[in-house]
């Protein structure tokens, strides 16, 4: 039986290209017992995002005096030499380490095993195979969760537990011998890239030889969706070129379909991959806009349009918009005609003497309308111990984030989210999700101030 290097890393982001390593831990095992261990903090060469610090506890100050990856590369390679690389969701850790070696112009490759795949085979029947959940199920303690050595030590216990299960040696032997690429994958793609993809909601990226995303997608089951890209014939030259350009595949869980849609939109707008032909269709909405007429009266009018950034408020249905305006006219004693509700025959006979009071009331209404729509969605996280939080303001997505803390009060929200630029597409995604929730197709919680 070979020696196994059980590895866990902490990083500044969720995918290898463009993110750095902040911590590495390695435990060497003979498959039955721990032999030795090594760990180090790593200077990632960039600031650690606040939400990563919140998750791992690793700060910029902690890595300020840590060695760079280049400084530890020789020592790291020596630790991993002559070992099978083992990790929980091995594609993630392996891709980061391989990518960092490639940046140094070094070719690094080791046989690898994934304890997620191993657990699915040898320990069937668990609801989740995330490290936290399956360790909890098996009574394996992790005294430093989301730190490299804490997670590596928990993975070692899980690995040793599986090694005594019936069929473990045969599974490892079969996995190690199955090194050849699956016949249906594009010619440059390693089968381990596909095997590392989640079977849960998430996003995925097809990368070219330079590591640039050429296509980004999402699905409720990432692995299944990626597989469908490679079904069918290769008759068209464009399809052949597309498959030939794919050199690697990356993917990660997002916890829910809603988060997958939002993150897909953000990634597409960040990278604009050449094979993403167009962004999602943006639906028409009823916008309430303001203007000042020739007599100096502030007025509203309704307009169907896709982009509603400058609207006072907007609605999916015109009836809802008119109902809101009628309610405002009644509550604030405003002329319906000046609120865009059609002429009642008064025309220009509305006396100028009421203009100042009318405009003051309209300005108050505009301010109130723009401030009233602040709420949040609390959705499923990437494992059983996590939640996703999406902050909304005036119908626009303001940001989102993940937290392991139970979110019960609105005043917790802003400290948990990362502000996003947002887009008309992301706003439409939320509105579509609300429709799906009303139809019983999605389930999430809404929090209001």
Catalytic residues: 146
Q: What are the C-alpha distances in Å from 397 to residues 157, 321, 366, 425?
A: 42, 20, 20, 10
CA angle 33, 147, 131 (to 5 degrees): 65
Task: State which H helix or E strand residue 22 sits in.
Answer: strand 21-29
Burial zone of 360 (CB within 10 Å; 0-12 exposed, 13-18 middle, 19+ buried)? exposed
For residues 23 and 36, give the distance between their C-alpha atoms in angstroms, rounded to a whole number.
18
With beta carbons less than 8 A apart as the criterion, state whether 334 and 290 touch: no
Contact in structure between 261 and 284 (CB atoms under 8 Å): no
With beta carbons less than 8 A apart as the criterion, state whether 280 and 432 touch.
no
**Residue 104 · residue 73 · CB < 8 Å:** yes
Burial of 356 (0-12, 13-18, 19+ CB in 10 A): exposed
Q: From CA 299, how far away is CA 255, in angstroms rounded?
A: 44
Q: For residues 318 and 25, what is the distance between their CA atoms, to the nearest angstrom? A: 58
The CA distances from residue 6 to 82, 129, 141, 152, in Å, are: 13, 17, 17, 6
Name the helix (H) or strand (E) containing 37.
Answer: strand 34-41
**CA–CA separation, 127 vs 397, rounded Å?**
32
Q: Which of 367, 373, 368, 362 is nearest to 427 (CA)?
A: 373
How big is the chain by its Cα radius of gyration, in Å?
27
CA separation for the pair 206, 277 (Å, rounded): 14
Q: How far apart are CA 13 and CA 48, in angstroms?
A: 9
Could you give the CA distance from residue 70 to residue 77 in angstroms, rounded to a whole number? 11
């Amino acid at each position: 039986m070979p020696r196994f290097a059980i590895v866990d890393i902490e990083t500044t982001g969720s995918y290898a290209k463009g993110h750095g390593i902040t911590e590495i831990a390695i435990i060497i095992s003979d498959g039955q017992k721990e032999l030795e261990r090594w760990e180090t903090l790593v200077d990632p060469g960039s600031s650690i995002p606040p939400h990563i610090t919140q998750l791992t506890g690793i700060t910029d100050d902690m890595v300020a005096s840590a060695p760079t990856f280049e400084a530890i590369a020789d020592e790291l390679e020596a630790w991993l030499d002559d070992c099978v690389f083992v990790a929980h969701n091995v594609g993630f850790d392996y891709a980061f380490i391989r990518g960092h070696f490639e940046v140094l112009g070094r070719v690094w490759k080791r046989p690898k095993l994934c304890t997620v795949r191993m657990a699915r085979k040898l320990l069937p029947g668990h609801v989740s195979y995330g490290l936290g959940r399956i360790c909890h199920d098996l009574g394996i303690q992790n005294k430093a969760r989301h730190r490299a050595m804490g997670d590596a030590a928990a993975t070692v216990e899980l690995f040793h537990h599986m090694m005594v299960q019936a069929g473990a040696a045969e599974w490892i032997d079969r996995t190690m011998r199955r090194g050849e690429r699956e016949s249906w994958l594009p010619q440059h793609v390693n089968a381990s890239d596909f095997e590392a993809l989640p079977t849960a909601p998430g996003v995925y990226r097809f990368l070219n030889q330079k590591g640039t995303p050429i296509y980004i997608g999402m699905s409720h089951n990432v692995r299944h969706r990626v597989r469908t890209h490679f079904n069918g014939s290769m008759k068209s030259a464009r399809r052949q070129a597309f498959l030939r350009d794919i050199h690697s595949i990356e993917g990660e869980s997002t916890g829910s379909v809603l988060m997958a849609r939002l993150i897909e939109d953000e990634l597409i707008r960040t990278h604009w991959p050449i094979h993403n032909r167009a962004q999602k269709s943006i639906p028409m909405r009823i916008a309430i806009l303001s203007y000042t007429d020739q007599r100096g009266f502030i007025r509203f009018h309704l307009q169907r349009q896709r982009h509603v950034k400058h609207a006072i408020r907007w609605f999916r249905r015109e009836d809802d918009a008119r109902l809101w305006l009628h309610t405002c006219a009644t509550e604030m004693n405003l002329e319906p005609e000046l609120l865009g509700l059609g002429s009642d025959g008064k025309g220009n006979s509305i006396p100028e003497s009421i203009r100042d009071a009318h405009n003051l009331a309209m300005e108050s209404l505009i301010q109130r309308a723009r401030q009233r729509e602040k709420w949040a969605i609390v959705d499923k996280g990437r494992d059983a111990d996590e939640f996703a939080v999406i902050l909304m303001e005036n119908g626009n997505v303001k940001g989102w984030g993940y937290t392991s803390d139970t979110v019960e009060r609105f005043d917790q929200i802003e400290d948990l989210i990362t502000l996003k630029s947002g887009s008309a597409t992301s706003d439409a995604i939320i509105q579509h999700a609300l429709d799906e929730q009303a139809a019983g197709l999605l389930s999430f919680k809404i929090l209001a101030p």
